[in-house]
Each structure stands twice: as C-alpha cells, then as structure tokens.
C-alpha cells in the first residue's frame, strides 16, 4: 500500500495539480487586489463615489440602533447585515479571472495551432510507401490496357 501511495503521490499529474493550486491561489490574491484597488475605485467614482464593499442592508439592528456608517460599525454593534456590495466585488473578480483565463487559453491555443502548422509533415511509413507503390502499379497497368 505504501508503494502504491508513493507512485500516486509522485505522478506528474498530482504534482502538476499541486503547482496549479498554489499558482491559482497566488493569482486569486492578485486579482482580488486588482479588482479592489484598481477597478472598483474608478467605477465607484463614476457612480458617485460609491464604495461597493460598504453597500449593505441591515436585517436586524444590534445593541446600538442604526444607521451604521460601515459594515464594520454594524458588526461591532451586533447588527445582522446583508453585504451585497461584497458580493458585487466578488462577481466582478470572477469575471476578471474568467476573462484572464480565457485570454491565456486563447493565446496558448493560437501558439499550438501555429506550431502545428509549422511542423513538417511526418514521413510516410514503410507500409504507406508500399501501398503507394501498389497504387501506382495498378494505375500504370490500367493505362496499358486502355
């Protein structure tokens, strides 16, 4: 069982998956920062200085009655909030990640197609050469009879 586990653990696919997860996590934090710090401020400015992360609805007041200026203030008061602004940020992050991945896959596919087009055609096998000779002999024989 230990031998089987070792074979499984050191297979290329498992290692590739582990690397993908680590890189994906790092890419996720980059995208989160990009959305939060680069994309959302101009959008908020265009929409009247709205900070999406602070958009919320109070479902139940806390020990201190609202209104609350921020989500953090509401949580400190013990209020129950519906933080739809955070959801908007998350959805925008998803679309940015999806577009980034799509563009990377598209670029990789373009490179693969270019490499396949540039690759020389494989040489015919001995079997294919023999079949071509037989075909040519049959064509020549047909011409002689005609």
Residue 40 lies in a domain: yes
Residue 141 lies in a domain: no
- Per-residue confidence in pLDDT tens, the chain, 146 aa: 888 877 777 776 777 788 888 888 888 888 778 877 887 778 778 877 666 788 899 998 888 887 888 888 888 999 999 999 889 888 887 887 788 778 888 998 999 888 888 878 788 899 999 999 999 999 999 888 87
Q: How many domains does the chain have?
A: 1
**Residue 33's CATH number:** 1.10.1200.120
pTM for the predicted model, two decimal places: 0.54
CB atoms within 10 A of CB 93: 19
The range of the structural domain enclosing residue 34 comes to 1-49
Q: Which residues contact 141 (CB under 8 A, 6 or more apart)?
A: none
DSSP letter for 80, please. Answer: E
């Amino acid at each position: 069982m230990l031998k089987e586990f070792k074979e499984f653990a050191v297979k290329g696919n498992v290692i590739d998956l582990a690397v993908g997860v680590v890189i994906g996590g790092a890419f996720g934090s980059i995208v989160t920062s990009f959305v939060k710090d680069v994309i959302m401020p101009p959008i908020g400015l265009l929409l009247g200085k709205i900070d999406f992360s602070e958009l919320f609805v109070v479902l139940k007041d806390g020990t201190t009655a609202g209104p609350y200026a921020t989500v953090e203030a509401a949580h400190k008061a013990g209020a129950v909030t519906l933080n739809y602004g955070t959801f908007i940020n998350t959805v925008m992050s998803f679309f940015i990640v999806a577009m980034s991945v799509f563009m990377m896959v598209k670029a990789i596919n373009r490179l693969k197609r270019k490499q396949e087009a540039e690759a020389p055609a494989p040489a015919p096998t001995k079997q294919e050469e023999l079949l071509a000779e037989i075909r040519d002999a049959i064509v020549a024989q047909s011409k002689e009879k005609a």
